[in-house]
Amino acid sequence: MSREFDVLVIGAGVTAMTVATVLIARKLVSPGRVAVVAESIAAPSAVSVYAGGDLRTDWDTRVFALSRSSQRLLEVCGAWHALAGRTFAYERMCVWDARGEAEGEGSLTFDCAELNEPNLGFIVEGRALQRAATLAAAAAGVIFIDAQILDLATTEADVRVRLTDGRDMRGQLLIAADGTESRTRDMLRIETAGHTYNQDALVAHVRTARSHRNTAWQRFLNTGPLAFLPLPDGLSSIVWSADRLEAARLRALDTAAFNEALTLASDGVLGKCEIATPIASFPLKLQYALDYVRPRAVLVGDAAHVVHPLAGQGLNLGLLDCASLVEILSEGGAGCFGEQKLLRRYERRRRSENLVTAAALDGLERLFASDNELLSRLRMSGLAAVSRVPFLKRQLTERALGIGGDTPAFLD
């Protein structure tokens, strides 16, 4: 038996749930006409009640820095209110070169007060964000289908998929939002390019002797950047990107030795650091799809692009994909979800923006990873120069906040 939908979304992560929900929220698709398809998808009843510990302090190890545009998109979807108690607003950001000094020579500080904004964004717990996105999708009328795609076929008229449970599905548009290792992207025969960074990111929560002052701190070391993201109760989430050999050495240290290494690597900006959770790690790479669209099919989020986490932009870029796709599809009116001219317009808009961001982050990683004396001086001079040019600094602050660049009109 074949079942028909307007839109089929492949994947069950935050990006998948959000794009499915915003299609309904923006009235492009009626409730019950969008299906999210993924294996082992969580039913709404399974995520309706938070089962963790203290809502204020018991945070999942993985967190995300969400921009203002991401916040507004989640508000449109009805997901933001479900994050109460699981977000933490940060007001400042300080980045500095390893040979410089935090808030001194060779550093650059952004402050929300410079834009008359209440904050620069929010640190959000990953587990709570997934829960909120899933609940919002269910409330909007998104249909959940617990299965995996076996095969798909696209034509000028529709897209058809066959599932592992034997069912067939048909839709006007398929949205691949199934992550970095997207099987759907492979089925669409879309190739990727990029490279590995030969780095792992170490992630954990830490306590620090000094207050984080609602500030995100990032020091650029020649082995990779070290970031401290502020959390409630004086905690910080670290994202320590390091060469594979260095990352392996750090993971092998006992707690006292790791605390000492972390305090030293941070130049003591927050005083003595003490690890508060187990350390998780994941490999880093740059990856981008050579195409974003096929007839009746489109890529969003990590299925389309993966960037270095040094600026925390990965999920924000994916959510902007969702918002931009929906904005462009709305220009065609109801029933025009899969028109190729609209999909191509989305591809031109988002692929160029994402490539520019990926290239900028890749260039920064390479620039700051060098221990060349001349490059170090140029880096420090460059950071100092930006601090002295109000217009340029304001543009960068707006980018950090998520109100500059390619932002869909309905998120303004």
**206-127-49 Cα angle (round to 5):** 120
- Domain 2-193+285-411 superfamily per CATH: FAD/NAD(P)-binding domain (3.50.50.60)
Cα 174 from Cα 154, distance rounded (Å): 9
Three-state SS at 234: helix
- For residue 67, give the nearest of 397, 409, 410 by alpha carbon: 397
How many beta carbons lie within 10 A of that of residue 343, not counting itself? 23
Domain boundaries, the chain: 2-193+285-411
User: Which residue shows structure tokens 């290239």?
Assistant: 359
Percent of the chain residues topping a pLDDT of 70:
85
Q: What is the pLDDT of residue 274?
A: 97
Whether the per-residue pLDDT at 241 is higher than 80: the answer is yes
Q: What is the pLDDT of residue 227?
A: 95
Whether the per-residue pLDDT at 164 is higher than 50: the answer is yes
Residues 229/218, Cβ–Cβ less than 8 Å: no
The DSSP call for residue 114 is: G
Q: Mean pLDDT score of the chain, rounded to an integer?
A: 87
Three-state SS at 298: strand
Q: What is the pLDDT of residue 359?
A: 80
Tell me the pLDDT band of 51, cut-offs 50, 70 and 90: very low
**276-277-281 Cα angle (round to 5):** 130
The model scores a pTM over 0.95: no
Tell me the pLDDT band of 379, cut-offs 50, 70 and 90: low
Tell me the pLDDT band of 56, cut-offs 50, 70 and 90: very low
Residues 12/115, Cβ–Cβ less than 8 Å: no
Six-digit token string for 181: 């290792």
